[in-house]
Amino acid sequence: MTERALLDGLFRTAIAAAHPSSCLPQHLPPPPKSGRLIVLAAGKAGGSMAEVAEAAYAGLGDRLLGIAVARQGYGRPLRSISMIEAGHPIPDAAGLQAAEAALELAEGAGPDDLVLVLLSGGASANWIAPARGLTLTDKQTVTRALLRSGANIGEINTVRKHLSRIKGGRLAKLARQSGVLTLAISDVPGDDPAVIGSGPTVADPTTLADARAILTRYKLDIPAAVTRALADIANESPKPNDPVFASGEYKLVARPADAFRAVERDVRLLGFELIMLGDHMEGEARERGAEHARLARELQAAGRRAIILSGGELTVTIRGRGRGGPNQEYALALAVALQGTPGIAALAGDTDGTDGGAGSPDDPAGAVINQTTLERSHLLGLDPAHFLADNDSTGFFTRLGDLVETGPTWTNVNDFRAIVVDTP
């Protein structure tokens, strides 16, 4: 088996373990006895989760209804549930339409109804309902600024929750007359329900002051309307002691740990030692790449055949003008640090099938590197350090033909990184 085939196989195993068809059916509740089952699905797995639910409840007829929203290219063919494809990571008018429809359905739910929320990573961008006084343009501007700043997902979602009418528990507040069950696929380090999709159905422990502090910390230039909104007490989110959450239930149906558990079995079957660094890693992608290169060299020097696994969500502080996401930047930094060390190869990819990019379903999922990466780049006249400085990892790996391109995977349990350490 080639290094590339081995790494691709591990990546496919991680994705398959988190697909809604594998993880969702056993968690679906019985339908309400007489009322409606209202499905509200959002995120990169929004369409596929709704598809699984629709098949399970096919006998409900017109008592099954709802709306699903997923990023562009991630929609699924649905019948009883409406499907919308919307912008990600920058929200758009389609996401606004989807959120307004979800809010209307939630508010109209009665005591005999069950609101089934199917949540996955990406919902923060796909459900866009600006707080009073804010426009879609305001939300797009602050999202772009946050994504470029290097802020982690928890910080980004803290700001989002205080600029929204659906995030931070507000969806549950509208649906408080009915039962609310949330089934979620986690894409965040630590699997915190208040962070997944910006927690539309759970209490929010963060505050307006926290959101303001984040904008100050990263010195972000934001619209005046956003500054006013974050000073308006009316935009404070529902807190843990709020009775609106008394009738709600929340379950995680897939986590990054579940995907890695499936991969770990394959690693052992292949005869490698497993080095698991955790599924909740954060930090600058290029810094983690350099750290992991040092670890790989140390393992090889000790004569250990191993596969190093790690997950989580790395960040990129954008200073250049290139294209790429944290997984591709990690892979490029790893290659630079390894300097062509024989016997070491790696894959870094996002399990949702897109790593950074411009919001297209054809964006790459990540990249692979091996001992020939730098040699081949030099033959093409490419300077890896220059591409890294310009945040242009996509440009670099495109020229080498080393992008990982999966297309939509219909799920999202965040980053997957594997480094194979073998004998030189």
CATH number at 297 reads 3.40.1480.10
Give start and end residues of each alpha helix (H) in 306-383.
326-338, 373-379
Residue 192 sits in the same domain as residue 236 = yes
pTM of the model: 0.93
Residue 64, pLDDT above cutoff 80: yes
Quickly tell me which residue has 């024989």 as its tokens: 342
Residue 45 sits in the same domain as residue 188 = yes
DSSP of 303-320, one letter per residue? T--EEEEEEE--B----S
- Total number of domains constituting the chain: 2
Nearest CA-CA partner of 291 in 322, 336, 260, 349 = 336
Residue range 14-46, pLDDT digits in tens: 999 999 999 999 999 999 999 999 999 999 999
Helix 393-400 vs helix 326-338: crossing angle, to nearest 10: 70
Quickly tell me which residue has 């700043």 as its tokens: 149
Residue 390 sits in the same domain as residue 359 = yes
Answer yes or no: are the C-beta atoms of 289 and 347 closer than 8 Å. no
Q: How many whole angstroms from its chain centre is CA 154?
A: 12
For 120, the domain range is 31-254
Task: Work out the widest C-alpha separation in the chain, in whole angstroms.
Answer: 69
Residue 195 sits in the same domain as residue 280 = no
Q: State the chain's mean pLDDT as an integer.
A: 96
Residue 298 sits in the same domain as residue 226 = no
Beta bridge partners of 315: 284
Quickly tell me which residue has 């007489």 as its tokens: 34
Q: What is the CATH number of the domain that holds 131?
A: 3.40.50.10180
Residue range 65-111, pLDDT digits in tens: 999 999 999 999 999 999 999 999 999 999 999 999 999 999 999 99
Residue 153 sits in the same domain as residue 192 = yes
Write the CA distances from 138 to 77, 121, 230, 326, integer angstroms: 32, 22, 13, 25
Helix (H, G, I), strand (E, B) or coil at 182: strand
Residue 270 sits in the same domain as residue 218 = no
Residue 357 domain-assigned (yes or no): yes
Residues 6+ apart with CB under 8 A from 364: 325, 328, 354, 355, 357, 394, 397, 403, 404, 405
